[in-house]
Structure 1
């Protein structure tokens, strides 16, 4: 689901750097679920007040939620995290390079049952990564371990060994 996680050794030369990206289902499922819950809530509230929603209008709402669940993952920015030799590279609305030596810690944080990786930077910022995430991804632990291994191998910077 959540992008490829190669089993490359952090110090291997010539191998492609791993990259993580959220899968389409990981993006669409919360949106679709939220839309359908909203529609069900609106239907229940209107029924409780004695107002009836025509079946055609209800189907329009449902189809709109389903269409949004399909279109948004396709049209949204392509978020990904790349593990480079000197930088952790975040792609999304814009590109952000974070030098490995500037990262003081990596933390796996659980929010609403979904685990993500949070990067702690030396200037005090905490940057949650959109990928990898445990939602619908059985390989999350392997990907998080790979990320920590890359950071551990490179955090001293090019000057230190």
Structure 2
């Protein structure tokens, strides 16, 4: 959580991004190794090492190139921003009709409902590897209650 002059920012942490990437790449490399183990031309230890290096370089590249994902709370808006230069979205507090916390696949995240009927899942805060999740949700709710008309 970052405090700024005009508001508060919640970002997805490096560990929250890295752990799923590393586990996914390790699983993919392991499945590739097992798949090639029973073919006519099994993978050697050197080829497995090269594959693991390439997977590690891919994870590092994704972490270095990715812009942080998160939410910025300002007095007038809730602003979501996404990685890889995707457009940020500004949502007026007057357009937010509700905030709910939902659990999906063991990870709790924040969902907002808009007056148009649209529902959005916020990129941050999320409970995966975040010990301050409950406090952040409370702060987000207080901002909405304070700044809505």
The answer, yes or no, to whether TM exceeds 0.5 is yes
Shift of 1:18: 1.1
Structure 2 gap segments, 5+ residues each: none
Unaligned ranges ≥5, structure 1: 7-13, 157-161
Q: Would you say the 8 A contact 2:6–2:75 is kept in 1?
A: no
Runs of 4+ in 1 over 4 A off after TM superposition: none
Please, which moves more after superposition, 86-95 or 48-57?
A: 48-57
Superposed displacement of residue 15, structure 1 = 5.5
Distance 1:137 1:50 in 2: 46
Q: Which residue of 1 aligns with 2:123?
A: 130
Q: Which of 62, 71, 76 is the aligned partner of 1:81?
A: 71
In the alignment, does 2:140 pair up with 1:147?
Answer: yes
Q: Is the 8 A contact 2:80 2:123 kept in 1?
A: no
TM-score of the two chains, using structure 2 as the length reference? 0.89
Greater fraction of residues in strand = 2
Number of equivalenced pairs:
146
Q: Deviations over 1:108-133 (max 9, x none)?
A: 11111111111111112111111111
Aligned to 1:121: 114
RMSD: 1.8
